[in-house]
Amino acid sequence: MIGQDRPRRSGLFLPASNERALKKARSLAADALILDLEDAVAPEKKHLARDAMIAALTERSSFRPREIVIRANALRTPWGEADLTAIGKAGPDAVLLPKVEAVAEIEAACAVLAHTGNKDLPVWCMIETALGVVNVEAIAFHSRVRGIVMGTSDLGNDLRLRPGRDRAPLLYALGRCVLAARAAGRIVLDGVHLDMDDMEGFLSACQQGRDMGFDGKTLIHPAQIEGANTAFGPSADEIEAAYRVIEAFESARQHGSGLAVLDGRLVENLHVEEARRLLAQADAISDVQARS
Ligand SMILES: CC(C)(COP(=O)(O)OP(=O)(O)OC[C@H]1O[C@@H](n2cnc3c(N)ncnc32)[C@H](O)[C@@H]1OP(=O)(O)O)[C@@H](O)C(=O)NCCC(=O)NCCSC(=O)C[C@H](O)C(=O)O
Ligand SMILES: [Mg+2]
């Protein structure tokens, strides 16, 4: 696993062709910026977006500590090969492949990247079709894949479902993708909430995604960043509870027991692992904040 230690609570999409958004992004508290060359960019602006992406990456230090991920067009489109060639040369933190349905697409993308001399670029895959969900286990376990990102809008369309406010019709696909990503040790990000005026619905979707095990959520507007960072980051109460769990367990170990009881609840090794993971995430967030 590479770079799994950094926070990915919020992954903000922005069209690479949007100069104002690119400028704004340098001041935003998103953990990752996903510069889009795909669906947010009109066909006549694809070249412009690619050039803007290359220019942005020559100034990458101005975006730090944010992770920079570029979403390419698929290789089956007229722009995919040129996108991957430019991305391979520019060297972002990761490339995001859209609408991945089979391992062969990852191999083909990696072959284009390798032609540029970039053989190690982490690959994130969007799962946003029925076939993608069916093949998500093989996709997640591919050795170059580091992240799985849900494309819930395209997926809903492909499945012909109506997500509703509670997203119940999407839950099987979301859960299956979390399962595959966790089994393979990958990052996994939830899909976007398109209604920018519906903050209540957005926050509820963040909580649902957090409860399901997602690392974070993809976003479309700066106003969504704070809610995602709060929902997917540990709260002050959780941090305090984590310290207490570790302390209680270590004290029990010193007295020769493999179990502790804290506030009437059993504490086992797995809870200590969970507490240490939470504290490591809190440290990673503090580190990012200190570098902002
Ligand atoms: C939707 C938007 C076009 C709205 O933009 P705008 O009209 O500029 O909004 P505001 O006036 O409210 O913006 C206020 C300031 O914030 C900046 N801004 C806005 N959006 C972003 C952004 N995403 N990243 C960075 N900065 C942003 C504006 O520039 C204003 O700042 P300033 O200039 O200083 O005043 C726009 O939000 C947008 O384009 N959002 C992203 C859309 C996108 O990328 N969509 C594709 C990804 S989602 C997807 O594809 C779904 C997936 O594949 C699936 O299938 O589910
Ligand atoms: Mg999509």
User: DSSP letters along 208-241, please?
Assistant: HHHHHT-SEEEESSGGGHHHHHHHHSPPHHHHHH
pLDDT at 235: 96
Mean pLDDT of the region 232-254: 96
Q: Is 2 contained in some domain?
A: no
126 CA to middle of ligand 2, Å?
A: 8
**Residues spanned by the domain of 276:** 236-291
Q: 167 and 75, same structural domain?
A: yes
pLDDT of residue 53: 98
pLDDT digits (tens, 9 = 90+) for 2-60: 345 799 999 999 999 999 999 999 999 999 999 999 999 999 999 999 999 999 999 99
Judge if 96 and 194 occupy the same domain: yes
Q: Are 172 and 137 in contact (CB under 8 A)?
A: no
Q: Identify the pLDDT of residue 187.
A: 98
What pLDDT sits at residue 264? 95
Q: Do 137 and 183 fall within a single domain?
A: yes
Q: What pLDDT was estimated at residue 292?
A: 85
Considering the domain boundaries, does residue 5 fall inside one? no
253 and 271 assigned to the same domain: yes
More confident residue, 258 or 135: 135
Instruction: Say how far apart CA 181 and CA 104 lie, in whole Å.
Output: 18
What does pTM read for this prediction?
A: 0.96
Are residues 107 and 250 both part of a single domain?
no
Q: What is the pLDDT of residues 166-207, one digit of tens each?
A: 999 999 999 999 999 999 999 999 999 999 999 999 999 999
Cα(40) to centroid of ligand 2, in Å? Answer: 9
Same domain, 248 and 221: no
Both 169 and 256 in one domain: the answer is no
Q: Pseudo-torsion of CA 171, 147, 59, 282, nearest 10°?
A: 80
Sign of CA dihedral 194, 195, 196, 199: negative
Decide: 24 in ligand 1 pocket, CB within 6 A.
yes
281 and 203 co-located in one domain = no
- Number of compact structural domains in the chain: 2
Helices 236-254 and 269-291: crossing angle in degrees, nearest 10, is 140
Tokens of 285: 């967030």
Q: Which of 66, 128, 221, 226 most suits a substitution to test ligand 1, by most atoms within 8 Å of the C-beta?
A: 221
The residue among 232, 247, 265 that closes a domain is 232
Complex ipTM: 0.99
By CB neighbour count within 10 A (0-12 exposed, 13-18 middle, 19+ buried), where does 161 fall? middle
**Pocket residue to mutate for ligand 1, from 170, 220, 224, 225, most atoms within 8 A of Cβ:** 220
What is residue 1's predicted lDDT score, i.e. its pLDDT? 36
**The domain that contains 226 carries what CATH number?**
3.20.20.60
Whether residue 212 sits in one domain with residue 252:
no
Is ligand 1 within 6 A of the CB of residue 64? no
Supply the pLDDT for residue 79: 98
Note if the bond before 92 is cis, omega within 30 degrees. Answer: no
Would the CA dihedral through 228, 231, 235, 239 be positive or negative?
negative
| Residue 104 Cα to ligand 1 middle (Å) | 32
Q: How far apart are CA 97 and CA 126, in angstroms?
A: 6
Count of other CB atoms within 10 angstroms of residue 132? 26
Q: Measured at the alpha carbon of residue 73, what is the angle toward residues 121 and 99, in degrees to the nearest 5? A: 90
Q: Annotation-wise, does 158 bind a ligand?
A: no
Q: What is the DSSP secondary-structure string of 51-74?
A: HHHHHHHHTGGGGTTSEEEEEPPP
Contact 90, 54 (CB under 8 A): yes
| 95-141 pLDDT per residue, tens | 999 999 999 999 999 999 999 999 999 999 999 999 999 999 999 99
Those residues whose beta carbon sits under 5 angstroms from the ion ligand 2 are 128, 151, 154
Q: How far is CA 87 from the centre of its chain?
A: 18
263-268: average pLDDT: 94
Same domain as 218, residue 185: yes
Q: Is residue 110 part of a domain?
A: yes
- Let me know: does 31 contact 9? Beta carbons within 8 Å: yes
Residue 3: inside a domain, yes or no?
no
Q: What is the pLDDT of residue 2?
A: 38
Q: Is 154 annotated as a binding residue?
A: yes
Same domain, 151 and 100: yes
Residues 178 and 218 in one domain: yes
- Contact 191 CB / ligand 1 (< 6 Å): yes
Place of tokens 């941090």: 239
Please check if 190 is assigned to a binding site: no
